Structure 1
Amino acid sequence: MTDKIQPLLSICIPTYNRINSLKSHLPLLLEIIKPSQEINLIVCDNCSSDGTREYLIELQRDYDFTYHVNIENLGFDRNYLKCIELATGEFTWVLGDDDIIDDRSIAQITHILHNENVDYLIINGGQLQKSSKTILPRLKLDSNIELTDINVLFKNFAWHATWISACIFRTNPAKQYKSKKFITSGFTQVDLLLSIFGNSTRYMLLKQPIVYQSENVSEYSRSISAVLSLFSDSLYSISNNYLGEKLSQNTINSFMLGHYDNYGSFNFKAALYYKIQGQISFLYVIKNYSRLARITRHPSVWIYASLTPNYLIKIARKIWKTLENRKSAL
């Protein structure tokens, strides 16, 4: 009796009550990886109640994948760690249940994992532009980049690694991660990235965008309170935990501004959106000014937005929409 060969890559999908996303994306992914003998797929269900269990059991009749159900909802971070616990591949890729990979990407990824001495792979990706069928990348890279300096990586690129689907890493070091300090932060993957870093850790960033979300994903799907809790409080606490040990203050400051500088998040347009939704006021902005200052270079614009009458915001939104329509028509 021969020992079972370890897969090169485990693709792990954490999910909770997202049956529609699974129906749309999972069969496509299973078809993409089906020819490969080096990849296994694991779905980790966080005790869904929307028919996910019945659907996945039915899907297992046609496809070979592992389905695990937690006996109770563990929360996002613990379910993320459960994925790593269940992974059996040399590398692990935790993929969001609403994210899609380019069907040409598997060969590229397996080639890199086989031939490059890499410990942590950061995948480029973004939103799918349906009109052109291309992926608008979050990272603007001229070529693949190899790094061993955690400050260079974290300062310039780690904002992108807050997206769980952007990270592929060696499984064994990740399985040693036992910290519970940030277990309700929503960003355990960022603490994991920092905790497993050592002097010999090699990172690679891929130029080619190969994972994407459909372009109808809302830029403002979270409330402002959730935005501040996640992007200002949690990320700051996680990165600040490594101040002096692995990260400089300049690195942390740049990381905190990453979504603003690179993705246009938390800007004046966002502030106006939250104002017209009734989520911010002048007093709210003043009270949370220091939290806003961590994630935007111009926190004062949130004061201006809070004082802007809603009728002017509506006019501005019509102008923006008209300009965007004209731009897309060119």
Structure 2
Amino acid sequence: MENIGENCYSIGVQLFENGDYERAVQYFIQSYNLGYEKKQILENLYACFVLPNEQEFRDNYNKNREGITQIPFEESVLDFIPVTEKRFYIYDKEQEKFAGVFELEDEPIQGEQEEFDSILFADIWDVREMLSTMREKKWNLIYIVLNEQERKFVSFLKLPQFKELYLKNVAVFQDANLMCTVFEQYDAFYLPKNIVAKDGGKYLKLIDELHVKRLHHRERDNVFLSICIPSYNRGSVALRNVSHLLHCPYDSEIEIIVSNNGSTKDEAGYQEIKNIRDVRIVYHEFEKNQGFASNILKTLELAKGKFAVLVSDEDLMILEHMNEYLTCLKKNSSCGVFLEGGIGASFRDLPADKIYHAGADAFSVLVDLNYVTGMTFHVGILKKSHAFEIITRMRGNGFLEYYTHITLALIVGKYANFYRMKLILWDARNAVEVGNIIPRYMLPETRIFQQNSIMEFYQKGLLLPASQFVSVFLNRAQKTYYLLELSYCHEKFRELYVWEEVCFFVYREQKKYLEEFPVILTAKGKDAMQKALRDMFLFYLNSEKIFSIRPLEEQAKKKMAYQTIQKGLEEGKSIEEVEEEAKAKYHLHYIGGNKAKIDIIDTFVSRNDR
């Protein structure tokens, strides 16, 4: 072994004399590890590589250690043998052995994938053991607890630009006690959800204990997500939802806002929510029912988070997917509105995430997102877009009162992109059923009211240019027929209406709207609009979906009646004339009067999901 060590030493000397310093150092270290002339080799390496650079190491150390350690330069354990500007061989003075090589990065280390959660490295001195994990993700924050490893870890501060390259997003604690003190006093620091340590269980227990303590803090200055739950007459349902959310691992990252809209039934659950001692809960209640819109707005006004998500009280967040959701929000923080997927009839699967650009692209999708759960807002953009001021000015608008979340989304979507996630975040399978009744919002009269109200909102709330107003109106007119077509598939609806009654009513109302159209039309433009509305009426009158649910004996009669209607319109007859002729010739009878229908239909339900 001594001969091998001597040979390595000789080769090292020759390489050094030839200026091949790194290979020379490698052979000197190999000789040292074989036990040959260890003292001499160490003295030579220090004399040639360490001591000439000592002042630079000292200056780097003193500059980098600020806010990290109180240990003086002389007490650091590791020394570094530079062979290039970026490569250093490590010598452990305590163990009197070499510990491999360290090569500085060209750029500050940064993970590839965005990540909301933070990570903790504990009792690890060797930065090299952390690098693969640090490169893997863009952690929210990286915590390092040193304890007995402090003197070794801080030795790396001798290296040039070490702090800028490796500690840009890192908080270093000398020991676990200091870490606990910081987490207990400052909620702005989120607890790590990932731990790398030899004794991971010890630190997992410690973090869990800190989590419980932080649930009783009062200062909340770094909330990331506000979960907003408007509720009415469903205290037990709201309590179930809140209890579920409280099982999530987050504390200062979230708040749960419940607004009780002056409930007069099922009130015990609200009192239980109010009595829960958990700082994450923000409870509000109105003395009297203020309507759906006011309750939605109150939850958002109370929100302190960077983002706020609206949730129907019966829909549960799938907590296992919460980190992915929060990560998506963090990664796409330039977007103003988000929507996630869910399980249940109110959600549909998406093959991939998609971004809709601000303006017409976003409007085309947002306007049809009737279900409230999952609508997430960037609160800063929501405020900058003056959404609350616009909503206040437009109060009383029918569409706004029914679909407050959509009007807010449209305002934000005018200025910022809309991000639609494929992530399945919500379980809506426990949605409260309204039974075999037709809610008032499904009435033709209500659908027309909504149609005209949204056009008013487009004009006065969004200040939609006249050049876009026509196409938007035609899209909404078609949507009115489509929604009523869906309603007609409901057996109870067919007990109240015949299909031609619905179609004639909608056509008359849309023609009436055209006569008082809010923007100026040329004669040619108005003719084109009239033709479009007539074609739309005839298309839905002859709906294949409606024909498929008619008895066979009715189908031939209906087709003949519709052909007569179409011919009459083509001959220039008024809609009233055509309707009366068809009723007389083909004995088309409508079911009851309008008041009779309304009397047997329930009032507008507080669960606004259509």
TM-score band (shorter)?
Answer: 0.7 to 0.9
Instruction: Give, in whole Å, the separation in 2 of the partners of 1:280 and 1:164.
Output: 29
2:485 corresponding residue in structure 1: 267
Q: For structure 2, list consecutive stretches of 5 or more residues without a partner in the other structure.
A: 1-184, 187-218, 511-532, 555-610
CA contact (8 A) 2:242 2:256 kept: no
Instruction: Give, in whole Å, the separation in 1 of the partners of 2:359 and 2:450.
Output: 19
CA contact (8 A) 2:438 2:493 kept: no
2:427 to 212, 223, 230: 212
**CA shift at 1:89, angstroms?**
1.0
SS in 2 for 1:68: strand
1:164 to 372, 387, 390: 372
1:100 to 292, 316, 324: 316
CA contact (8 A) 1:139 1:207 kept: no
1:15 corresponding residue in structure 2: 231
1:245 to 453, 458, 464: 464
1:168-179 equivalence runs, <5 A: 168-175=376-383, 176=386, 177-178=388-389, 179=391
1:58 corresponding residue in structure 2: 272
SS in 1 for 2:319: coil
Q: 1:157 to 1:47 in 2, by over 3 A?
A: closer
Q: For 1:212, give the aligned amino acid.
A: D
Instruction: Give, in whole Å, the separation in 1 of the partners of 2:222 and 2:475.
Output: 39
What whole-Å deviation, never above 9, does each CA across 1:215-250 have from its counterpart, x for those lacking one? 765598763642245544225422453257265543
Q: For 2:496, give the aligned amino acid.
A: Q
SS in 2 for 1:205: strand
CA contact (8 A) 1:155 1:255 kept: no
**CA shift at 1:96, angstroms?**
0.8
CA contact (8 A) 2:262 2:287 kept: yes
Instruction: Give, in whole Å, the separation in 1 of the partners of 2:539 and 2:259.
Output: 38
**Structure 1 residues 288-297 or 112-121, which shifts more?**
288-297
> Which one has a bigger Cα radius of gyration?
2
Q: Would you tell me which structure has more helix in proportion to its own residues?
A: 2
1:31 to 241, 247, 254: 247
1:119 to 335, 342, 345: 335
Instruction: Give, in whole Å, the separation in 2 of the partners of 1:105 and 1:296.
Output: 46
Structure 1 length as normaliser, TM-score?
Answer: 0.73
**CA shift at 1:152, angstroms?**
1.8
Q: 1:286 to 1:112 in 2, by over 3 A?
A: closer
CA contact (8 A) 1:94 1:165 kept: yes
Instruction: Give, in whole Å, the separation in 2 of the partners of 1:233 and 1:85.
Output: 28
CA contact (8 A) 1:158 1:255 kept: no
Give the structure, 1 or 2, with the largest relative contact order (CA under 8 Å, sep 6 or more). 1
Q: 1:211 to 1:217 in 2, by over 3 A?
A: same
1:273-312 equivalence runs, <5 A: 273-276=491-494, 278-281=495-498, 284-285=501-502, 288-290=505-507, 298-301=540-543
**CA shift at 1:46, angstroms?**
0.5
Q: 1:214 to 1:221 in 2, by over 3 A?
A: farther
SS in 2 for 1:146: strand
Instruction: Give, in whole Å, the separation in 1 of the partners of 2:338 and 2:537.
Output: 22
**CA shift at 1:63, angstroms?**
3.9
2:151 corresponding residue in structure 1: none
1:79 matched to 2:295: yes
Q: 1:171 to 1:229 in 2, by over 3 A?
A: farther
Q: 1:266 to 1:88 in 2, by over 3 A?
A: same
Q: 1:272 to 1:118 in 2, by over 3 A?
A: same
SS in 1 for 2:324: helix
**Structure 1 residues 136-145 or 93-102, which shifts more?**
136-145
**CA shift at 1:83, angstroms?**
1.1
What whole-Å deviation, never above 9, does each CA across 1:101-132 have from its counterpart, x for those lacking one? 2222321121122222333333233443xxxx
**CA shift at 1:149, angstroms?**
3.5
Structure 2 length as normaliser, TM-score?
Answer: 0.42
SS in 1 for 2:328: helix
Instruction: Give, in whole Å, the separation in 1 of the partners of 2:422 and 2:539.
Output: 27
Instruction: Give, in whole Å, the separation in 1 of the partners of 2:296 and 2:537.
Output: 25
SS in 2 for 1:241: helix
1:146 matched to 2:355: yes
**Structure 1 residues 248-257 or 119-128, which shifts more?**
248-257
CA contact (8 A) 1:224 1:279 kept: no
**Structure 1 residues 286-295 or 34-43, which shifts more?**
286-295
CA contact (8 A) 2:223 2:254 kept: yes
CA contact (8 A) 2:239 2:272 kept: no
Instruction: Give, in whole Å, the separation in 2 of the partners of 1:117 and 1:68.
Output: 28
Q: 1:165 to 1:266 in 2, by over 3 A?
A: same
1:196 corresponding residue in structure 2: 412
Instruction: Give, in whole Å, the separation in 2 of the partners of 1:126 and 1:15.
Output: 20
1:45 matched to 2:260: yes
Instruction: Give, in whole Å, the separation in 1 of the partners of 2:259 and 2:431.
Output: 25
Instruction: Give, in whole Å, the separation in 1 of the partners of 2:382 and 2:538.
Output: 32
Q: Percent identity among equivalent residues?
A: 17
**CA shift at 1:299, angstroms?**
4.5
**CA shift at 1:193, angstroms?**
1.7
Q: 1:256 to 1:152 in 2, by over 3 A?
A: farther
**CA shift at 1:174, angstroms?**
3.3
SS in 1 for 2:373: helix
CA contact (8 A) 2:352 2:422 kept: yes
SS in 1 for 2:283: strand
SS in 2 for 1:226: helix
Instruction: Give, in whole Å, the separation in 1 of the partners of 2:309 and 2:315.
Output: 12
Report the count of equivalent residues: 296
Instruction: Give, in whole Å, the separation in 2 of the partners of 1:217 and 1:295.
Output: 34
Q: 1:22 to 1:268 in 2, by over 3 A?
A: closer
**CA shift at 1:80, angstroms?**
0.9
